[in-house]
Amino acid sequence: MDSSLKKFFYPKSITLLGASSKEGSIGYEILKSIKSFQFTGKIFVINPNANKILGTQCYSSLDEVNESIDLAIILLPRKFVLQGLQDCARKEIKNVIIITAGFKEVGGEGAELEKELIRIAKENQIRLIGPNCMGVINTEALIRLNATFAAELPKYSQIALLSQSGALAAAVLNTISQTGFSFGQFISVGNKADVNENDLLEYWAINPNVDVIAMYLESFENGKKFFETTKNISSKKPVIVLKAARSEAGTKAAISHTGALASSDKIVEVVLNECGAIRVETVEEMFETASTFQKIPIPRGNRVAVLTNAGGPAILLVDQLEKNNLRLSSLSDKTIKRLKEILLAESSFGNPIDMLPGATAEIYKTASEILLEDENVDSLFVIFVKPVMIDSFDVLSSIAVVQKKSVKPVLISAFPLPKFWDKWKEIGNEDAVIYKSLELPPKILRHLCGRKPRIEKLTKSVKYEQKLSLNEKSYLQKKLTAKGIIPQKDVQAICKKLKLPIAQSLLVKNFQEAKKKISSLKFPVVLKVESLDVIHKSDIGGVIINIKNLKELRSAFNQIIQNLNKNKISEKNVHYIIQEFVEGGTEVIIGGFRDPSFGPVIMFGAGGKLVELIKDDNFTLAPVTKSKAIDLIRQSKIYPLLKGYRGETKVDINNIAETMVICSNLINDFPQIKEFDINPLIVKAGKGKSKIVDMRIIAEQ
Amino acid sequence: MDSSLKKFFYPKSITLLGASSKEGSIGYEILKSIKSFQFTGKIFVINPNANKILGTQCYSSLDEVNESIDLAIILLPRKFVLQGLQDCARKEIKNVIIITAGFKEVGGEGAELEKELIRIAKENQIRLIGPNCMGVINTEALIRLNATFAAELPKYSQIALLSQSGALAAAVLNTISQTGFSFGQFISVGNKADVNENDLLEYWAINPNVDVIAMYLESFENGKKFFETTKNISSKKPVIVLKAARSEAGTKAAISHTGALASSDKIVEVVLNECGAIRVETVEEMFETASTFQKIPIPRGNRVAVLTNAGGPAILLVDQLEKNNLRLSSLSDKTIKRLKEILLAESSFGNPIDMLPGATAEIYKTASEILLEDENVDSLFVIFVKPVMIDSFDVLSSIAVVQKKSVKPVLISAFPLPKFWDKWKEIGNEDAVIYKSLELPPKILRHLCGRKPRIEKLTKSVKYEQKLSLNEKSYLQKKLTAKGIIPQKDVQAICKKLKLPIAQSLLVKNFQEAKKKISSLKFPVVLKVESLDVIHKSDIGGVIINIKNLKELRSAFNQIIQNLNKNKISEKNVHYIIQEFVEGGTEVIIGGFRDPSFGPVIMFGAGGKLVELIKDDNFTLAPVTKSKAIDLIRQSKIYPLLKGYRGETKVDINNIAETMVICSNLINDFPQIKEFDINPLIVKAGKGKSKIVDMRIIAEQ
């Protein structure tokens, strides 16, 4: 394992620039943390005004230190930070953490200063963490580094933890004695001036002391890189992500439907899902999930047996299991027979199995073992509520033994008297995973259950191959020169070139021109207004369908002109599209847009009127393979209609998928495309041909 | 306040039947609880085999006690319980709690025994709680009764708590020293042989020591009664309900769409909402909500200001606020100006207001006061994460003062060091409401915000008046004699009588008959098969639309006959409906069914193909007034289409509402109707007339 980040976590020597002798200040408290956690390396404290702080000799400047130093931690006031970093450069320190705040996050001068820091770091090959961060922790016995101002000391485990927010990390560290959260390595990345989540992912991927990676993120520094990195890692080490800032405004001022439907959080959801990360909602869920992944095996499936000594909690648990898409096992006859031999006759032998309050440690153990032997049980959930005459310690110790031995996951929720926990901790039963609630563990079990199918999906995912030909590319390049909305005639030309099934149509200036050219189309037709001033044609009465003859066409023109006047839209720049009228079929939408962080994205869902009605917005990252496109269609709400609803003939979804692949190539290969949508694509049952009735492409301005 | 339940909570004297001298037994532990909580009344312990238990003199039988007794608690083994109750009857004790288990919940002999208990109680005007329950607690200083086997003693508050599950109550009571949950009166109702949640609601409604009622329920004893009782109470005292068993199977074997869509939990949701109860998801949410309602005022609206000293937690909070439909206030210019005068320039002055870690107690107080004075702020949310140099006690004390004084709600989430809480408890700052998480408080704030509109809705709800005429009733009575699916000709007759707008149609046996009678209809028409063997006509190709002439009608007949043969359905019992073809319009569904617990229910939503696609299932209890029907239409997913989508003409929803009112009368007045649905009702824009294309009525078998 070698990486430029290694010395952040495994320094043999550190220096503190800005250590202070003032009790209560950060410069004092961090040194106190380092000393009380008994860092195994050397500490060089720099302070020109003090002789000793907390018993440690001070140097008046870094230049005075004769030994080499692995890691510098800068706590200086903002105005001295730049000088501090230069000192580090001169001393050839390659790893620096800047805790001081007041840089990019405050804008203005602070932001300028941060740029300077980055420049100096780059010039001197320094890896920089922060500024505006909270420090670093490594709880490994050979290191014991706690360079944060958190007073509480976490226990060691193989979990690595990143927090974008220093305060959130502080809140977590402050309560660690109560929650029992543990980790091996912790880093607070602050402003991510240099080192970001992607660097740390790569480092932890190769660090053998890290089994599980957990991250609190507010933003992605480079979404595409995050996606690729996590995709490579997550089948080996679970990557658990708490992504905050869900409510961040989505793609603003989106012109297409697709853009309007895509909130940034929706895309984050898709990205995390597709790269195999596990998304959690709360800090508690993040830690408990990480800790469970370390200790509990992954189940084969989602069938759960529930064993309890109390009815009410089991009912609440079943509600939560269902909410998390977990199923209750149908127990085999043999299992029930065996349980009947050991349990009271009045017990409940369905699933949950309620053994009644009298169940002893021995009964719990035997019943658990019987259930785990059942083929229909993928995991076992044990509930224990302390009854008056039963000893909690006996029962939980015996279940803990079963949990440790079992190749199937055994989850335990226990409600003993409070004093129990002290005794439990004392005895050191820390390997056991016991939850104190009924709400969180089903979520964690869902994460465990999702792990196997996710890994399978990641490993078998087909490489994308289809591409546009050179000829197609150069043709399209010419058609995609406009800024903003691409003119319909170019859209039509692009469709023809790419063999996208656009409905036959004419572009005309007025009825007279239409009359002359109409012979190339067959009635019935549709008349649509075409103008850069009109974004949603239907809204202003700019579309008239099912026009059966020339006479009707003339009055349709008149009607639309009236509607334009009503809406105070000048006729001057207006054109008209006359299009074959596509009757029947199901309306779907295919869309795409370029996410600022993750790049091109493809959408599929119910089209036409249903778009805003049912929000059938299914996204995936572009480029898509045909099989990925089919997956997306299958997860849509409209899919039941496509596969033949109530005895109707089904639609050829292969055909839709092929259209999606072409569109995905389009947005993937032409960075000038900002958004597009095809709405509706009318798809027909059986051998009927799909038709694009409307397609819009919007270029970057 | 007088009620037959009063002495369960305010006994002057109690007796224990089945007290035991065996440490660890329930009979011993309950007596221990009673004594250690220092019950203020007299205790008579009955045990023929002991002289003294825990220092209390025993009587060998109840007959030996010369004084009158208010409350008996029976802990006897099951076989002696009946005798015990008879002893109580003889002694003229009118309030009895039976803790012993093994009755209805185990079925068979136990269930029979429970019936006997009920009989004896009725005969002797005894109010009975249990069996299979956990006891009673009253923490009021004048009473101090803890007749449960929970060792932990709750603090007093004006909350009354009911638990259907003894074990859940035990789990809660076991951890009360950690959670700090408080209540005045607690009862575990067990099997509800006599006293149930409705009785207790009525009692607590009139008890002046109860301000908030909280209930954990697994089932409703009498849903209609619960609804009416809660509706009467909830505008005066908040009723908080944790209803478990969500996943309980819904209306089984439902024939109509409505029945299939109605899970029992969906109806519970509707009922709780309409009677003004507050539904919570977890035990913790139940207690924290109850406790907050006691101490914090109700906000005028849902606009929240967030004040923090840390960015990360504020971001997580904002995510949660949004999830709970709360909005961030747009602060007034004046507020921002005033804040700028007292906060650091680098602070964030949007909302959340991030004062940075340096914010002192004084700053927190002043900033809070400024925010609370802003017209645009309905409630204030304060976050505090302990920074190194700031004293948690100072800050939280000063915010607590603001919280107590403010007429607007002030919610506080704090993350001090763990040792803080002990000091806080010691000083007795218990009136302050401070949460330790960021996830739960936004839920609680949602409950607070919902309170005002709910009360308004309850108090202004119009009384239902429209009814069917006697003439209509007697006519319908004759048409509703069949069991199962009511024949179409009767459905048609019912629609005509009630002026429901059913599409014109003919019922014929074959094409020959159709040919003779067709002159009464105009082409185009629809041909539909009508047979008790065919439930979903479309599924087997039993519907052909848009038939333009006799020739097409003939081939439609042939086609359907072919399809019947293909599906092996005998032509023998088959009839055919020829119906006018209703073109265009939007398809909606109106349905209804009889819930076993809550009685008749009405549904409205998207109809036709969309029914199962988008699950637009909106329910309300019948009978409905027109304004309630309009509310239901407005909350549907299809409503945006009805109100005129993208410039289209809107539908007359009054007209739909009137149809709903008639249907609601129908199911309300005729208990033999089990389910019905109208699917689709085709509604037309503008002045177009709505038409019922298909209606089915299913009678109780």
**Residues forming beta bridges with residue B345, ordered by sequence position:** none
Q: How far apart are CA B99 and CA B169, in angstroms?
A: 14
pLDDT in tens, B199-208: 999 999 999 9
Q: Would the pLDDT of A533 be above 80?
A: no
Look up residue B486 and give its DSSP letter. Answer: P
Q: Residue A170 has what pLDDT?
A: 85
How far apart are alpha carbons A473 and A477 in whole angstroms? 6
CB distance A168–B313 less than 8 Å? yes
- Supply the DSSP symbol for A688: P
Are B170 and A29 an interchain contact pair (Cβ–Cβ within 8 Å)?
Answer: no
Per residue in A359-384, pLDDT (tens digit) is: 999 999 999 999 999 999 999 999 99
Nearest to A117, CA basis, from A70, A165, A162, A84: A84
- The span from the CA of A628 to the CA of B24, in Å, is 62
**What gap in Å lies between CA A148 and CA B424, rounded to an integer?**
26
Q: Judge: B612–A640 Cβ closer than 8 Å, yes or no.
A: yes
pLDDT of residue B249: 38
Average pLDDT for B606-612: 86
Percent of chain B with pLDDT over 90: 68
Q: For residue A33, give the amino acid letter.
A: S
Mention every residue, 6+ apart, whose C-beta is less than 8 A from residue A676. Answer: A256, A258, A591, A592, A593, A663, A666, A667, A695, A696, A697, A698
Asked whether the CA dihedral A145, A148, A149, A152 is positive or negative, the reply is: negative
Quick: pLDDT tens for B478-537.
989 888 889 888 999 999 999 999 999 998 999 999 999 988 888 999 999 988 777 778
In 3D, which of A655, A696, A664 has the Cα closest to residue A678? A696
Confidence of residue B254 (pLDDT cuts 50, 70, 90): very low
Q: What does the mean pLDDT of chain A come to?
A: 90
pLDDT tens, B261-299?
A: 556 888 999 999 999 999 999 999 999 999 999 999 999
pLDDT level of residue A419 (50, 70, 90 thresholds): confident
For tokens 């580094």, the residue is A145
Averaged over B571-577, what is the pLDDT?
A: 87
For B336, what's the count of Cα atoms within 13 Å in the CB-facing half-sphere? Answer: 12
> What pLDDT does B607 receive?
92
Q: Which residues of B touch A218 (CB under 8 A)?
A: 312, 315
Chain B residue with CA closest to A637: the answer is B613
CA distances to A233, B72, B82 from A227, in Å: 10, 67, 69
More confident residue, B2 or B97: B97
Average pLDDT value for chain B: 90
A464–chain B nearest CA distance, Å: 32
Contacts of A309 in chain B (CB under 8 A): 167
Q: Is the dihedral of CA B633, B638, B639, B644 positive or negative?
A: negative
Tell me the residue type at B10: Y
Instruction: Name the residue facing B26 among A102, A247, A388 (closest C-beta).
Output: A388
How many CA atoms are closer than 13 Å to the CA of A117, on its beta-carbon side? 34
How far is residue A454 from each of residues A60, A230, A278, B674, measured CA to CA in Å? 55, 13, 10, 45
Q: Are B15 and B46 in contact (CB under 8 A)?
A: yes
What's the average model confidence in pLDDT over A34-61?
A: 94
CA–CA gap between residue B310 and residue A231 (Å, rounded): 32
Identify the band that residue B250 occupies on the pLDDT scale cut at 50, 70 and 90.
very low
- Residues B175, A418: C-beta atoms closer than 8 Å: yes
**Whether pLDDT at A178 is above 70:** yes
Q: Which of A121-125, A515-519, B362-366 has the lowest mean pLDDT?
A: A515-519
Q: Which stretches within B25-102 are classed as H helix?
A: 26-36, 78-90
Q: What pLDDT, on the 0 to 100 scale, is given for residue A254?
A: 44
Q: Which residues contact A22 (CB under 8 A, 6 or more apart)?
A: A28
Give the model's pLDDT for residue B251.
35
Residue of B103, B242, B284, B319 to mutate, testing the A interface (most A Cβ within 10 Å of its Cβ)? B319
Name the residue type at position B171: A
Q: Is the Cβ–Cβ distance between A253 and A264 less than 8 Å?
A: no
Q: Between chains, do A315 and B647 touch, taking CB under 8 Å as contact?
A: no
Round to whole Å and give the CA distance between B18 and B46: 7
CB A186 within 8 A of CB A241: no
pLDDT at A387 over 90: no
Phi, psi of A652 (to 5 degrees): -80, 95
* Range ranked top by mean pLDDT from A625-629, B101-105, B332-336: B332-336
Confidence of residue A260 (pLDDT cuts 50, 70, 90): low
Q: Report the pLDDT value the prediction gives residue A399, as an integer from 0 to 100.
A: 97
pLDDT at position A536 is 76
Are B311 and A641 in contact (CB < 8 Å)?
no
Q: Enter the DSSP assignment of A651.
A: B
Q: Where is A444: in which H helix or E strand? A: helix A440-460
Question: By three-state DSSP, how is residue B435 classified?
Answer: strand
What average pLDDT does this structure show over A476-502? 91
Average pLDDT rounded to a whole number, residues B563-574: 86
Q: Which of A327, A388, A546 to mutate to test the interface with B (most CBs of B within 10 A)?
A: A388
Whole-number pLDDT of residue B462: 66
Q: Is the pLDDT of residue A216 over 70?
A: yes
Go through B553-569 and write b for each residue having 16 or more CB atoms within 10 A of its CB, e for each that does not.
Answer: beebbeebbebbeeeeb
CB contact under 8 Å between A167 and B313, yes or no, is: yes
Share above pLDDT 70 across residues of chain B, in percent, rounded to a whole number? 96
- Percent of chain A whose predicted confidence (pLDDT) is above 90: 68
**What pLDDT does A270 receive?**
93
CB atoms within 10 A of CB B219: 17
CA of B600, closest CA in chain A: separation in Å? Answer: 26
- Run of H or E residues at A289: helix A283-295
Residue with tokens 């617990």, as numbered in its chain: B597
At residue B170 the predicted structure's pLDDT band, cuts being 50, 70 and 90, is confident
Chain A partners within 8 Å of B167 (Cβ): 309-313, 357, 385
What is the C-alpha to C-alpha distance for residues A491 and A479, in angstroms, rounded to an integer? 8
CA-based nearest distance A21→chain B, Å:
14
DSSP label at residue A164:
S
pLDDT at residue number A253: 38
The helix-helix angle for B488-497 and B470-479 (nearest 10°) equals: 180
Could you identify the residue written with the tokens 């109750």?
A: B85
In Å, how far is A152's CA from the nearest CA of chain B? 9
Report the DSSP pairing between strands A185-188 and A135-138: antiparallel
Range in A28-32, A608-612, B462-466, B663-667 with the lowest mean pLDDT? B462-466
Size of chain A, expressed as the number of residues it contains: 701
Hey, are the CB atoms on A346 and B106 less than 8 Å from each other? yes
Q: CA Rg, chain B, in Å?
A: 32
Long-range contacts of B504-507 (CB under 8 A, 24+ apart): B504/B579, B504/B580, B505/B577, B505/B578, B505/B579, B505/B580, B506/B577, B506/B578, B506/B579, B507/B575, B507/B576, B507/B577
Residues in CB range of A163: below 8 A, 6 or more apart: A134, A169, A172, A186, A187, A188, A189, A215, A216, B312
Kindly report the length of chain B.
Answer: 701
CA-angle at B473, arms to B470 and B478, nearest 5°: 135
For A432, which DSSP code?
S
Compute how many other C-beta atoms are within 10 angstroms of the C-beta atom of residue B431. Answer: 10
B498 to chain A nearest CA, in Å? Answer: 31
Here the tokens at position A517 are 């050219």
Q: How far is A166 from chain B (nearest CA, A)?
A: 7
Residue B519 in contact with residue B504, Cβ under 8 Å? no
Cα–Cα distance measured from residue B688 to residue B584, given in angstroms and rounded to the nearest whole number = 10
Tokens (6 digits) for B255: 């024939």
**C-alpha–C-alpha distance, residues A584 and B443, integer Å:** 46
Given a contact cutoff of 8 angstroms between Cβ atoms, the answer to whether A654 and A667 are in contact is no
pLDDT tens across B455-489, in order? Answer: 888 877 666 666 788 888 899 899 898 888 898 88
Give the one of A174, A436, A640 whose C-beta lies nearest to B416's C-beta: A174
For an interface test with B, give the residue of A315, A386, A420, A544 to mutate (most B CBs within 10 A): A315
- What does the pLDDT read at residue A299? 96
* Predicted confidence band of residue B1 (pLDDT cuts 50, 70, 90): low
User: In the predicted model, is pLDDT for residue A152 greater than 90?
Assistant: no
B312: left (phi over 0), alpha (psi -120 to 50) or beta: alpha
Listed residue (B699, B677, B593) closest to B270, CA to CA: B593
Tell me the two tokens of residue B201. Answer: 């609601």
User: What is the pTM for the complete model shown?
Assistant: 0.91
Query: How many whole angstroms separate alpha carbon A96 and alpha carbon A69?
Result: 10
Q: How far is A107 from chain B (nearest CA, A)?
A: 9
- Contacting residues of B for A386, CB less than 8 Å apart: 170, 174
Subunit contact A312:B612, Cβ cutoff 8 A: no
Q: Is B681's pLDDT higher than 70?
A: yes
Matching residue, tokens 């021995």: A362
DSSP β-ladder status, A379-385 and A434-435: unpaired
Which residue in B has a C-alpha nearest to residue A612's C-alpha? Answer: B640
From the CB of residue B141, how many other CB atoms can be counted at a distance below 10 Å? Answer: 8
Residue pair B39/B143 in contact by the 8 Å Cβ criterion: yes
The chain A residue lying nearest B171, using CA atoms, is A415
pLDDT value for A642: 92
Residue A5 to chain B, least CA–CA distance (Å):
25
CB pair distance less than 8 Å for B165 and A311: yes
| Selection from B178, B153, B26, B168 nearest residue A390 by Cα | B26
- On the question of pLDDT at B252 being above 50, the answer is no
Look at B389 and A292; give whichever has higher pLDDT.
Answer: A292
Q: Within 13 Å and on the Cβ side, how many CA atoms surround A268?
A: 23
Sign of the torsion angle spanned by Cα atoms A621, B615, B649, B526? positive
Rounded to whole angstroms, the Cα distance separating B683 from B479 reads: 27
CA distance B295 to B648: 50
Q: What is the mean pLDDT of residues B34-56?
A: 94
Question: What does the pLDDT read at residue A573?
Answer: 81
Confidence of residue A262 (pLDDT cuts 50, 70, 90): low
Token pair, residue B359, equals: 């914010």
Query: Do the Cβ atoms of B381 and B317 come closer than 8 Å?
Result: yes
Q: Do B389 and A26 touch (CB under 8 A)?
A: yes
Which candidate in B25, B247, B257 is best for mutational testing of the A interface (most A CBs within 10 A)?
B247
Using CA atoms, how far residue A659 sits from A591, B456, B624, in Å, is: 11, 53, 49
Q: Strand pairing of A13-17 and A278-280?
A: unpaired
Q: What is the pLDDT of residue B210?
A: 97
Within 10 Å of residue A115's Cβ, how many Cβ atoms?
Answer: 12
